[in-house]
Structure 1
Amino acid sequence: MQAREGDQHAFAEIVGAHRNHVWAVCLNICGNPHDAEDALQNTLVAAWQNLHKFRGEARFSTWLHRIAANNALSVVRRRKTNTQITDFTDPEQPIQLSDDDEGPRFDERLALRDALRDALSQLPEDFREAIVLREFGDMTYADIAVHQGVGVQTVKSRLNRARTQLAEIMRDRMPA
Protein backbone atom coordinates (compact mmCIF):
# COMPACT_ATOMS: atom_id res chain seq x y z
CA MET A 1 0.00 0.00 0.00
CA GLN A 2 1.67 3.20 -1.21
CA ALA A 3 -0.12 5.31 1.38
CA ARG A 4 1.67 3.43 4.18
CA GLU A 5 4.95 4.49 2.64
CA GLY A 6 4.01 8.16 2.95
CA ASP A 7 2.36 8.77 -0.42
CA GLN A 8 -0.15 11.51 0.40
CA HIS A 9 -1.82 11.25 -3.01
CA ALA A 10 -2.47 7.53 -2.50
CA PHE A 11 -3.84 8.24 0.98
CA ALA A 12 -6.15 10.95 -0.41
CA GLU A 13 -7.44 8.50 -3.01
CA ILE A 14 -8.31 5.72 -0.58
CA VAL A 15 -9.84 8.11 1.95
CA GLY A 16 -11.72 9.92 -0.81
CA ALA A 17 -13.47 6.70 -1.77
CA HIS A 18 -15.03 6.61 1.72
CA ARG A 19 -15.54 10.34 2.19
CA ASN A 20 -19.35 10.38 2.11
CA HIS A 21 -19.78 7.53 4.57
CA VAL A 22 -17.15 8.91 6.95
CA TRP A 23 -18.80 12.33 6.81
CA ALA A 24 -22.22 10.81 7.49
CA VAL A 25 -20.87 8.88 10.49
CA CYS A 26 -19.27 12.03 11.93
CA LEU A 27 -22.31 14.21 11.22
CA ASN A 28 -24.87 11.83 12.65
CA ILE A 29 -22.92 11.02 15.78
CA CYS A 30 -21.87 14.61 16.46
CA GLY A 31 -25.19 16.19 15.66
CA ASN A 32 -24.05 19.34 13.92
CA PRO A 33 -21.79 20.19 10.99
CA HIS A 34 -19.26 22.17 13.03
CA ASP A 35 -18.54 19.33 15.43
CA ALA A 36 -18.64 16.85 12.53
CA GLU A 37 -15.98 18.88 10.72
CA ASP A 38 -13.79 18.70 13.82
CA ALA A 39 -14.36 14.96 14.07
CA LEU A 40 -13.66 14.47 10.36
CA GLN A 41 -10.45 16.46 10.54
CA ASN A 42 -9.36 14.51 13.63
CA THR A 43 -10.23 11.30 11.78
CA LEU A 44 -8.11 12.14 8.76
CA VAL A 45 -5.15 13.18 10.89
CA ALA A 46 -5.44 10.06 13.06
CA ALA A 47 -5.78 7.79 10.02
CA TRP A 48 -2.73 9.34 8.36
CA GLN A 49 -0.64 9.17 11.54
CA ASN A 50 -1.71 5.60 12.32
CA LEU A 51 -1.80 4.13 8.85
CA HIS A 52 1.19 1.97 9.74
CA LYS A 53 -1.02 0.30 12.38
CA PHE A 54 -3.61 -0.82 9.82
CA ARG A 55 -3.01 -4.57 9.68
CA GLY A 56 -5.44 -5.41 6.92
CA GLU A 57 -7.37 -7.90 9.06
CA ALA A 58 -10.53 -5.85 8.46
CA ARG A 59 -11.52 -3.77 5.46
CA PHE A 60 -9.94 -0.34 5.26
CA SER A 61 -13.42 1.22 5.35
CA THR A 62 -14.18 -0.56 8.64
CA TRP A 63 -10.94 0.69 10.15
CA LEU A 64 -11.59 4.24 8.93
CA HIS A 65 -15.23 4.23 10.14
CA ARG A 66 -14.07 3.07 13.55
CA ILE A 67 -11.64 5.99 13.76
CA ALA A 68 -14.41 8.35 12.62
CA ALA A 69 -16.91 7.04 15.16
CA ASN A 70 -14.36 7.24 17.97
CA ASN A 71 -13.45 10.80 17.06
CA ALA A 72 -17.09 11.82 16.71
CA LEU A 73 -17.92 10.31 20.10
CA SER A 74 -14.95 12.13 21.59
CA VAL A 75 -16.24 15.45 20.23
CA VAL A 76 -19.74 14.69 21.56
CA ARG A 77 -18.38 13.88 25.01
CA ARG A 78 -16.38 17.11 25.05
CA ARG A 79 -19.42 19.11 24.01
CA LYS A 80 -22.14 17.15 25.80
CA THR A 81 -24.51 20.14 25.81
CA ASN A 82 -24.92 19.98 22.02
CA THR A 83 -25.80 16.38 21.10
CA GLN A 84 -28.73 16.71 18.71
CA ILE A 85 -28.34 14.79 15.49
CA THR A 86 -28.22 17.04 12.45
CA ASP A 87 -29.87 14.91 9.82
CA PHE A 88 -31.15 11.36 9.50
CA THR A 89 -31.31 11.58 5.73
CA ASP A 90 -28.42 11.48 3.29
CA PRO A 91 -26.34 14.59 4.12
CA GLU A 92 -25.05 14.74 0.55
CA GLN A 93 -28.54 14.77 -0.92
CA PRO A 94 -29.84 18.31 -1.42
CA ILE A 95 -33.29 19.15 -0.13
CA GLN A 96 -35.61 19.77 -3.02
CA LEU A 97 -37.44 23.05 -2.72
CA SER A 98 -40.25 22.28 -5.12
CA ASP A 99 -43.48 20.58 -4.14
CA ASP A 100 -44.69 17.69 -6.24
CA ASP A 101 -47.58 15.28 -6.09
CA GLU A 102 -45.35 12.26 -5.52
CA GLY A 103 -43.97 13.10 -2.08
CA PRO A 104 -44.31 15.25 1.01
CA ARG A 105 -44.16 19.01 0.75
CA PHE A 106 -40.98 20.87 1.66
CA ASP A 107 -42.29 21.94 5.07
CA GLU A 108 -43.36 18.36 5.81
CA ARG A 109 -39.89 17.09 4.90
CA LEU A 110 -38.31 19.67 7.20
CA ALA A 111 -40.64 18.67 10.03
CA LEU A 112 -39.79 15.01 9.49
CA ARG A 113 -36.06 15.73 9.40
CA ASP A 114 -36.27 17.76 12.62
CA ALA A 115 -38.33 15.07 14.33
CA LEU A 116 -35.83 12.39 13.29
CA ARG A 117 -32.93 14.55 14.46
CA ASP A 118 -34.54 14.96 17.84
CA ALA A 119 -35.50 11.28 18.05
CA LEU A 120 -31.94 10.15 17.33
CA SER A 121 -30.59 12.51 19.95
CA GLN A 122 -32.81 10.81 22.56
CA LEU A 123 -31.38 7.35 21.96
CA PRO A 124 -28.78 5.98 24.36
CA GLU A 125 -25.27 6.55 23.01
CA ASP A 126 -24.64 2.86 22.23
CA PHE A 127 -27.90 2.57 20.30
CA ARG A 128 -27.32 5.82 18.38
CA GLU A 129 -23.77 4.79 17.50
CA ALA A 130 -24.91 1.35 16.30
CA ILE A 131 -27.70 2.69 14.11
CA VAL A 132 -25.54 5.44 12.64
CA LEU A 133 -22.75 2.99 11.83
CA ARG A 134 -25.23 0.58 10.25
CA GLU A 135 -27.33 3.07 8.29
CA PHE A 136 -24.74 5.70 7.42
CA GLY A 137 -21.45 3.88 7.75
CA ASP A 138 -22.69 0.83 5.83
CA MET A 139 -20.97 -1.35 8.41
CA THR A 140 -21.92 -4.99 8.88
CA TYR A 141 -23.18 -6.35 12.17
CA ALA A 142 -19.80 -8.02 12.67
CA ASP A 143 -17.92 -4.76 12.02
CA ILE A 144 -20.13 -2.87 14.46
CA ALA A 145 -19.63 -5.62 17.04
CA VAL A 146 -15.86 -5.30 16.75
CA HIS A 147 -16.11 -1.52 16.91
CA GLN A 148 -18.32 -1.51 20.00
CA GLY A 149 -16.53 -4.42 21.65
CA VAL A 150 -19.66 -6.54 21.94
CA GLY A 151 -21.09 -9.64 20.29
CA VAL A 152 -23.06 -9.64 17.04
CA GLN A 153 -26.24 -10.59 18.93
CA THR A 154 -25.80 -7.50 21.12
CA VAL A 155 -25.47 -5.35 18.00
CA LYS A 156 -28.64 -6.88 16.55
CA SER A 157 -30.41 -6.23 19.84
CA ARG A 158 -29.19 -2.62 19.99
CA LEU A 159 -30.29 -1.98 16.43
CA ASN A 160 -33.69 -3.55 17.05
CA ARG A 161 -34.19 -1.53 20.24
CA ALA A 162 -32.95 1.65 18.56
CA ARG A 163 -35.40 1.22 15.68
CA THR A 164 -38.23 0.44 18.12
CA GLN A 165 -37.45 3.52 20.21
CA LEU A 166 -37.18 5.70 17.09
CA ALA A 167 -40.56 4.43 15.88
CA GLU A 168 -42.16 5.14 19.27
CA ILE A 169 -40.71 8.63 19.47
CA MET A 170 -41.73 9.38 15.88
CA ARG A 171 -45.23 8.01 16.42
CA ASP A 172 -45.71 10.51 19.26
CA ARG A 173 -44.41 13.43 17.20
CA MET A 174 -45.83 12.99 13.74
CA PRO A 175 -49.49 13.53 12.89
CA ALA A 176 -51.34 10.47 11.69
Structure 2
Amino acid sequence: MDEARLLLQARNGDQHAFAELVGAHRTHVWAVCLNICSNPHDAEDALQNTLVAAWQNLHKFRGESKFSTWLHRVAANNALMVVRRRKANTTITDFTDPDQPIQLVDDTHQSAFDDQIALRDAVRDALAQLPEDFREAVVLREFGDLTYADIAAHQGVGVQTVKSRLNRARTQLAELLRDTAAATGQ
Protein backbone atom coordinates (compact mmCIF):
# COMPACT_ATOMS: atom_id res chain seq x y z
CA MET A 1 0.00 0.00 0.00
CA ASP A 2 1.31 3.49 -0.78
CA GLU A 3 2.41 5.89 1.93
CA ALA A 4 -0.28 8.51 1.23
CA ARG A 5 -3.06 5.96 1.70
CA LEU A 6 -1.49 4.57 4.87
CA LEU A 7 -1.13 8.10 6.21
CA LEU A 8 -4.78 8.86 5.54
CA GLN A 9 -5.91 5.64 7.19
CA ALA A 10 -3.64 6.22 10.19
CA ARG A 11 -4.99 9.75 10.60
CA ASN A 12 -8.45 8.19 10.70
CA GLY A 13 -7.41 6.01 13.64
CA ASP A 14 -6.26 2.85 11.86
CA GLN A 15 -3.50 1.51 14.12
CA HIS A 16 -2.51 -1.20 11.63
CA ALA A 17 -1.93 1.42 8.93
CA PHE A 18 0.15 3.45 11.38
CA ALA A 19 2.20 0.37 12.27
CA GLU A 20 2.85 -0.33 8.60
CA LEU A 21 3.70 3.31 7.91
CA VAL A 22 6.17 3.53 10.79
CA GLY A 23 7.45 0.00 10.24
CA ALA A 24 8.89 0.97 6.88
CA HIS A 25 11.25 3.35 8.69
CA ARG A 26 11.95 1.37 11.85
CA THR A 27 15.61 0.63 11.13
CA HIS A 28 16.54 4.25 10.50
CA VAL A 29 14.46 5.52 13.43
CA TRP A 30 16.14 3.01 15.75
CA ALA A 31 19.56 4.06 14.45
CA VAL A 32 18.76 7.72 15.12
CA CYS A 33 17.64 6.96 18.68
CA LEU A 34 20.54 4.63 19.44
CA ASN A 35 23.22 6.89 18.07
CA ILE A 36 21.95 10.00 19.81
CA CYS A 37 21.36 8.23 23.13
CA SER A 38 24.50 6.05 22.95
CA ASN A 39 22.89 3.34 25.02
CA PRO A 40 20.25 0.78 24.06
CA HIS A 41 18.09 1.24 27.15
CA ASP A 42 17.75 4.99 26.61
CA ALA A 43 17.29 4.41 22.88
CA GLU A 44 14.38 2.06 23.64
CA ASP A 45 12.78 4.79 25.75
CA ALA A 46 13.35 7.33 22.99
CA LEU A 47 11.91 4.96 20.38
CA GLN A 48 8.81 4.30 22.46
CA ASN A 49 8.36 8.04 23.09
CA THR A 50 8.78 8.60 19.35
CA LEU A 51 6.05 6.13 18.43
CA VAL A 52 3.63 7.58 20.98
CA ALA A 53 4.40 11.16 19.91
CA ALA A 54 4.07 10.29 16.22
CA TRP A 55 0.70 8.60 16.78
CA GLN A 56 -0.61 11.45 18.94
CA ASN A 57 0.66 14.17 16.60
CA LEU A 58 0.04 12.59 13.22
CA HIS A 59 -2.53 15.30 12.52
CA LYS A 60 0.30 17.86 12.76
CA PHE A 61 2.22 16.32 9.86
CA ARG A 62 1.48 18.78 7.04
CA GLY A 63 3.18 16.89 4.25
CA GLU A 64 5.65 19.70 3.50
CA SER A 65 8.44 17.14 3.84
CA LYS A 66 8.56 13.38 3.48
CA PHE A 67 6.93 11.39 6.26
CA SER A 68 10.29 9.76 6.99
CA THR A 69 11.89 13.19 7.51
CA TRP A 70 9.16 14.18 9.95
CA LEU A 71 9.44 10.85 11.79
CA HIS A 72 13.24 11.16 12.05
CA ARG A 73 12.79 14.65 13.46
CA VAL A 74 10.38 13.31 16.09
CA ALA A 75 12.88 10.55 16.90
CA ALA A 76 15.82 12.94 17.18
CA ASN A 77 13.85 15.29 19.44
CA ASN A 78 12.78 12.43 21.71
CA ALA A 79 16.30 11.00 21.84
CA LEU A 80 17.71 14.40 22.75
CA MET A 81 15.10 14.75 25.52
CA VAL A 82 16.15 11.37 26.94
CA VAL A 83 19.83 12.41 26.82
CA ARG A 84 19.11 15.74 28.50
CA ARG A 85 17.01 14.06 31.18
CA ARG A 86 19.81 11.52 31.81
CA LYS A 87 22.42 14.30 32.05
CA ALA A 88 20.25 16.16 34.54
CA ASN A 89 19.92 13.05 36.70
CA THR A 90 23.54 11.90 36.70
CA THR A 91 27.03 13.26 36.48
CA ILE A 92 28.58 10.07 35.08
CA THR A 93 27.63 8.71 31.68
CA ASP A 94 28.20 4.98 31.27
CA PHE A 95 28.29 3.85 27.66
CA THR A 96 28.76 0.19 28.47
CA ASP A 97 25.90 -2.17 29.07
CA PRO A 98 27.01 -5.09 31.24
CA ASP A 99 23.49 -6.56 31.22
CA GLN A 100 23.36 -6.87 27.44
CA PRO A 101 23.78 -10.52 26.50
CA ILE A 102 26.77 -11.26 24.33
CA GLN A 103 26.22 -13.69 21.53
CA LEU A 104 28.83 -16.41 21.65
CA VAL A 105 30.63 -17.25 18.44
CA ASP A 106 33.13 -19.96 17.66
CA ASP A 107 36.82 -19.25 18.30
CA THR A 108 37.69 -18.86 14.63
CA HIS A 109 35.45 -15.80 14.41
CA GLN A 110 35.97 -14.45 17.93
CA SER A 111 38.72 -11.99 16.98
CA ALA A 112 36.67 -10.41 14.17
CA PHE A 113 33.65 -10.33 16.46
CA ASP A 114 35.67 -8.60 19.21
CA ASP A 115 37.04 -6.09 16.68
CA GLN A 116 33.50 -5.26 15.52
CA ILE A 117 32.33 -4.69 19.09
CA ALA A 118 35.36 -2.54 19.88
CA LEU A 119 34.82 -0.44 16.77
CA ARG A 120 31.10 0.00 17.50
CA ASP A 121 31.87 1.05 21.07
CA ALA A 122 34.60 3.44 19.95
CA VAL A 123 32.26 5.11 17.45
CA ARG A 124 29.51 5.47 20.08
CA ASP A 125 31.97 6.91 22.59
CA ALA A 126 33.32 9.34 19.98
CA LEU A 127 29.80 10.40 18.96
CA ALA A 128 28.93 11.03 22.61
CA GLN A 129 31.88 13.43 22.91
CA LEU A 130 30.70 15.65 20.05
CA PRO A 131 28.72 18.82 20.75
CA GLU A 132 25.01 18.07 20.64
CA ASP A 133 24.30 19.93 17.38
CA PHE A 134 27.22 18.17 15.63
CA ARG A 135 26.17 14.74 16.92
CA GLU A 136 22.59 15.30 15.86
CA ALA A 137 23.62 16.38 12.35
CA VAL A 138 25.92 13.37 11.88
CA VAL A 139 23.35 10.91 13.18
CA LEU A 140 20.57 12.33 11.03
CA ARG A 141 22.80 12.29 7.93
CA GLU A 142 24.62 8.98 8.37
CA PHE A 143 22.03 6.90 10.20
CA GLY A 144 18.79 8.68 9.36
CA ASP A 145 19.67 9.22 5.68
CA LEU A 146 18.30 12.77 5.78
CA THR A 147 19.32 15.33 3.18
CA TYR A 148 21.24 18.49 4.07
CA ALA A 149 18.05 20.48 3.54
CA ASP A 150 16.06 18.20 5.85
CA ILE A 151 18.72 18.46 8.57
CA ALA A 152 18.83 22.24 8.12
CA ALA A 153 15.06 22.46 8.55
CA HIS A 154 15.20 20.21 11.59
CA GLN A 155 17.99 22.17 13.27
CA GLY A 156 16.64 25.56 12.21
CA VAL A 157 19.84 26.57 10.42
CA GLY A 158 20.99 27.03 6.84
CA VAL A 159 22.26 24.25 4.60
CA GLN A 160 25.78 25.72 4.69
CA THR A 161 25.73 25.55 8.49
CA VAL A 162 24.74 21.89 8.28
CA LYS A 163 27.59 21.20 5.85
CA SER A 164 29.99 23.00 8.18
CA ARG A 165 28.72 21.09 11.22
CA LEU A 166 29.05 17.79 9.38
CA ASN A 167 32.56 18.60 8.22
CA ARG A 168 33.66 19.67 11.69
CA ALA A 169 31.92 16.68 13.31
CA ARG A 170 33.59 14.23 10.94
CA THR A 171 36.96 15.84 11.59
CA GLN A 172 36.43 15.60 15.36
CA LEU A 173 35.24 12.00 15.04
CA ALA A 174 38.34 11.07 13.04
CA GLU A 175 40.58 12.67 15.69
CA LEU A 176 38.74 10.98 18.54
CA LEU A 177 38.90 7.59 16.82
CA ARG A 178 42.59 8.09 16.01
CA ASP A 179 43.25 8.92 19.68
CA THR A 180 41.32 5.82 20.75
CA ALA A 181 43.25 3.63 18.31
CA ALA A 182 46.56 5.08 19.52
CA ALA A 183 45.59 4.54 23.16
CA THR A 184 44.63 0.92 22.53
CA GLY A 185 47.60 0.22 20.30
CA GLN A 186 45.54 -0.57 17.20
Q: What TM-score comes out, normalization by structure 1 length?
A: 0.87
Pick aligned residue for 1:107 from 92, 97, 114: 114
1:76 and 2:83 matched: yes
Residues paired across the two proteins, number:
166
1:44 and 2:51 matched: yes
Flag the structure with larger Rg: 2
- Give the 3-state SS of the residue equivalent to 2:44 in structure 1: helix
Residues 34-80 of structure 1: CA distance to partner in whole angstroms, max 9, x if unpaired? 11111111111111111111111100000000000000000000001
| Pairing of 1:127-142 with structure 2 (within 5 A) | 127-142=134-149
CA pair 61-84 structure 1, distance change in 2 beyond 3 A: farther
* Pairwise CA distance, 1:95: 7.9
Amino acid at match of 1:167: A
Aligned counterparts of 1:85 and 1:25: Cα–Cα separation in 2: 16
Aligned counterparts of 2:112 and 2:135: Cα–Cα separation in 1: 28
Pick aligned residue for 1:8 from 2, 7, 15: 15
Pick aligned residue for 2:167 from 153, 160, 163: 160
Which residue is equivalent to 1:90?
none
CA pair 57-96 structure 1, distance change in 2 beyond 3 A: farther
Amino acid at match of 2:34: L
Residues 89-120 of structure 1: CA distance to partner in whole angstroms, max 9, x if unpaired? xxxxx9894546xxx72222222222212111
Unaligned regions of 5+ residues in structure 2, if any? 1-7, 97-101
Unaligned regions of 5+ residues in structure 1, if any? 87-93
1:65 and 2:72 matched: yes
Which residue is equivalent to 1:91?
none
Aligned counterparts of 1:41 and 1:83: Cα–Cα separation in 2: 21
* Pairwise CA distance, 1:172: 1.3
Contact conserved, 1:31 with 1:84, CA < 8 A, in 2? no
Aligned counterparts of 1:68 and 1:83: Cα–Cα separation in 2: 21
Contact conserved, 1:31 with 1:83, CA < 8 A, in 2? no
* Pairwise CA distance, 1:33: 1.1
Aligned counterparts of 1:149 and 1:106: Cα–Cα separation in 2: 40
- Give the 3-state SS of the residue equivalent to 1:105 in structure 2: helix
CA pair 58-96 structure 1, distance change in 2 beyond 3 A: farther
* Pairwise CA distance, 1:148: 0.5
Amino acid at match of 2:167: N
RMSD after superposition: 2.0
Aligned counterparts of 1:85 and 1:143: Cα–Cα separation in 2: 29
- Greater percentage in helix: 2
CA pair 26-85 structure 1, distance change in 2 beyond 3 A: farther
